[in-house]
Amino acid sequence: MNPSKKITYQEAGVSIDANDEMVRRISRSLASTFGPRVIPLENGFAGLVRLDYDEKLFKKNYKNPVLVACTDGVGTKILIARQMNRMDSIGIDLVAMNVNDMLVQGAEPLFFLDYLAVHKLIPEQIAEMVEGIAAGCRMADCALIGGETAEMPDLYAEDECDMAGFAVGVVERNRIITGRNVAPGDVVLGLASTGLHSNGYTLVRHICFKQEKLQLEDRLDELDGAPLGQILLTPTRIYVRSVISVLSSYKTKKVIHGMAHITGGGLVGNIPRVLPPSCNAVLKKKSWPIPPIFHFLQKRGPVEEQEMYRVFNMGIGYVLIVAPDFADAVKTKLEKAGEEVYKIGMITPGTGKVVLK
């Protein structure tokens, strides 16, 4: 070794200059998500958000606020995004997986943080990823107040990357939704998904690419002629605005007894998380349309029907369990808010499980 030869961080694999350029590129995306709660802090080491704000035009204070926190990723769906060289919409998925989860408790999202890990920091690529995250935050009325981008060439192979998200929201303590009020006779409303969302992609990739040897650009009659990659990369739907609008319209009555975000585990795995041990959710399988991608995967696998319902959302991305006298009104409000809503079942006496009929 030549002792006179000096080594730099960049020669070891990490570029400080690229990081500075990345920060410059993403600053506008972050600012586009700021609402009246955010306190701007240029070059800060952390983000600042007020829980309450008192401006006359925007006053919204909580009497007994409870913070709700979530963290999640997008799983192997990110491999599809990398193959297609499209890193924008995957950011929407990242936000959706977090804010839809906290929504189950009746919480409105406050702010979001991201963690991006890459082999090599390419500012324009990171900017594309962050703009997708910012787009998801705008859909969820959630401020993107910061994050971390880690350049780790010794940990991630060339072109590899991963992402995770962290969200914090708030709900009035007496408005927390836990499922304890779910009772026989309640109606189960299902909100349509936009397809696979962000779950089951290890099985999807096995069927499509390892087994069937398909290409992302393939157009298949079974999928209405759309490119396979486009279908697989469709972003997860964010249900925040529509559900929060319904919750806000019932300020005293608690007509929504339980909710579930249908992620890994499907309908049969997620709905029981909000059922009392004395109740079942009886779902009618033909009460909603199943998107073609699910029929395609089941046939090409082939995959047993029971397994399909354990892995995928099967066309229902979010569920509300509603008092029977208010089910039609809630359904109408959700439809006016832009959702496709189906009466997919009823709550009956039982043992805390989902029964498919």
- From CA 86, how far away is CA 315, in angstroms rounded? 24
- 55 pLDDT tier (thresholds 50, 70, 90): low
Higher per-residue confidence, 47 vs 52: 47
Residue type, 262: I
Cα 262 from Cα 239, distance rounded (Å): 12
For 288-347, the pLDDT digits (tens) are 999 999 999 999 999 999 999 999 999 999 999 999 999 999 999 999 999 999 999 999
Taking the model in full, what pTM does it have?
0.92
Query: Do 64 and 93 fall into the same domain?
Result: yes
Statement to judge: residues 130 and 82 lie in one domain:
yes
Q: What angle do CA 83, 86, 92 make, to 5 degrees?
A: 120
Which tokens belong to 14? 């990490």
Same domain for 242 and 160? no
Is residue 147 located within the same domain as residue 263? Answer: no
Q: Which range marks the domain in which residue 60 is found?
A: 9-175
Total count of residues recorded for the chain: 357
In a domain, 195, yes or no: yes
Same domain, 47 and 153: yes
Q: Are 208 and 281 in a shared domain?
A: yes
- With both helix axes pointing from N to C terminus, report the angle between 240-249 and 89-103 in degrees, rounded to the nearest 10: 30
Q: Go through 128-139 and write b for each residue having 16 or more CB atoms within 10 A of its CB, e for each that does not.
A: bbbbbbbbbbbb
Q: Among the three residues 121, 153, 175, which one is the final residue of a domain in this structure?
A: 175
Half-sphere exposure of 352 (CA within 13 A, CB side): 8
Q: Do residue 250 and residue 274 come from a single domain?
A: yes
How many helices (H) and strands (E) are present in the chain, helices listed first? 12, 12
- Please say which residue of 175, 199, 222 terminates a domain: 175
Mean pLDDT rounded to a whole number for the chain: 92
| Chain segment 106-146, per-residue pLDDT in tens | 999 999 999 999 998 888 888 999 999 999 999 999 999 99
What's the domain count of the chain? Answer: 2
Q: What is the three-class DSSP state of 79? A: helix
Neighbours of 322 (CB within 10 A): 25
pLDDT above 70 for 58? no
Strand partners, 259: 320
Q: Are residues 154 and 203 in the same domain?
A: no
- The backbone torsions φ and ψ at residue 109, rounded to the nearest 5 degrees and listed phi first, read -65, 140
Q: What is the mean pLDDT of residues 57-80?
A: 88
What confidence tens digit (pLDDT) does each residue in 257-285 have? 999 999 999 999 999 999 999 999 999 99
Structure token pair of residue 23:
């920060």
Residues 198 and 301 in one domain: yes
Is 51 inside a domain boundary? yes
| pLDDT tens profile 84-111 | 999 989 999 999 999 999 999 999 999 9
Does 88 reside within a domain? yes
**Structural domain contains residue 3:** no
Q: Please report, for the domain that includes residue 121, its CATH number.
A: 3.30.1330.10
Q: DSSP string covering 231-252, please?
A: HHTPPPPP-HHHHHHHHHH-SS
Does residue 235 share a domain with residue 104?
no
Q: pLDDT by residue (tens digit) across 170-206? A: 999 999 999 999 999 999 999 999 999 999 999 999 9
How is residue 136 annotated by DSSP? H
The answer to whether residue 303 is domain-embedded is yes
Domain C-terminal end among 153, 175, 197: 175
Q: Which one is predicted more confidently, 248 or 55? A: 248
